[in-house]
Structure formats: structure tokens, C-alpha cells
Chains A and B, each alone.
Chain A
């Protein structure tokens, strides 16, 4: 569970991948060509990003002739939602900061 969540976080930490994922969420299935036009980066770069998204199970693909079509799997965000819920990364991080602030404070 933790490992999958980390993949999801890492995959979406990159703004281009996030944009590609959001585009797929908005537009439905898209070809690599269409995504390349949208993302305005090279096709090999888009393919690399799609591989990372695929590993995190955020997208699925199917081949049709010479084109590969990708679609978003928003359910893959569930581990992230759970992760946030269970591990409370945000607040843990803030608790750490609070701890160091308290150490710096005089009284």
C-alpha cells in the first residue's frame, strides 16, 4: 500500500506529468501524439512520463494500429487519499516543524 502510494505521489509531483494526467482526466482517451501536442515537450519525453504514470497505475494504454491510446485511471488516486488519511503526511511534517520551533523558543 505504502509503495503504491509513493509511486502515485512521485508520478504526480512532476508538473508535466500532472498536466498530462489532468488532460486525460478531462478529455478521456488520448493518443501519444495528441498528448505530445498538448504537453509541448518531445514525444520521447511524453512517453517517459506516461511510463511513470503507468507504473503508478494512474493511466492505462491500448494499442490500435500504430497508435497507442492512453486513458486516466482516477481510481489510482485512492491510495493517495488513503495515504493522506492514514499517515497524515502534511500534519506530521508540521508537527516536526513545530517541534523544532519549540526548541528554538525561549519560553
Chain B
């Protein structure tokens, strides 16, 4: 129960978009476009650049996600660290061109799991995160 595989979790979301990688890359890396589908930000596609995503503040959460650009491989791969509420994780975007469009993969890893020593803290963090999830709940009705 103590190896790294068991104390971290990975979330993967994949989808094929009928668009070329160059177009998706723009949506992933141009601040104003990112704001339209993700969040307000001061992102720059430069390795080492520190930036923030800003969501709607919620009770017990200022809505800020602290990030740092880790990898920029135009039209192919982008990653940044993602720190919010004491939960450190890394988000990796991978773009793979295919016949029917571009396969986009988002992998977020680093969520502490039940076996992790930080689980109590992480749970509390999620609890604070709930305010921001109201939109999701609204969409579930």
C-alpha cells in the first residue's frame, strides 16, 4: 500500500475532434481562447512560465489555480503543473493526428488516494472545492 502507484491517481479524458492539431493547439495555448472554454488565465506557451487559472471564487476558495508550464511541443504536447487547495497535480495534453481528426488526450495525475497519508487533507480540500462544482451539479439535473 505504500508504492507511488497506489498513493496517486490519474484522471484521463480523451476525445477525437474533427479538427487539425494546429487549430486545437491554438485553443489550448492562446489565452483568450483558453478563457472561452477553460478559465481566465495569464498563460504563455513558454516552459517555466508561471501562471494562474482563475475560476469563480467559492466559499473557502479564492478560485485560483497556480500553474507552471512544464512542456511545450507545438501541435503535439503541452503540460503544466496544477496546484489548488493543497492538491498538487500535473496536467498533460497530447495531440495525435488521425484519419477522422485529432485525438486529444488530457491526463491529470497526482490526486492523493485513500492509501495516501494526505487523504484526510485531500478530502478536506475537495470539500472546499465543492462550491466550484455547483455548475456541474446544475448540469446533472
Contact = CB atoms under 8 A, between A and B. Distances in A.
Given A6-B140, A74-B123, A102-B17, A88 B11 contact: yes
Given A98-B27, A99-B15, A93 B126 contact: no
A52 interface: no
A: interface residue count bin: 20 to 34
Interface residues of B, number: 37
A97 B36 contact: yes
Contacts of A100: 37
A3 B42 CA distance: 38
Contacts of A34: none
B90 interface: no
Contacts of B88: none
Nearest to A89: B136
Interface of A: 6, 9-10, 12-13, 15, 18-19, 22, 25, 74, 77-78, 80-81, 84-85, 88-95, 97-102, 105, 107
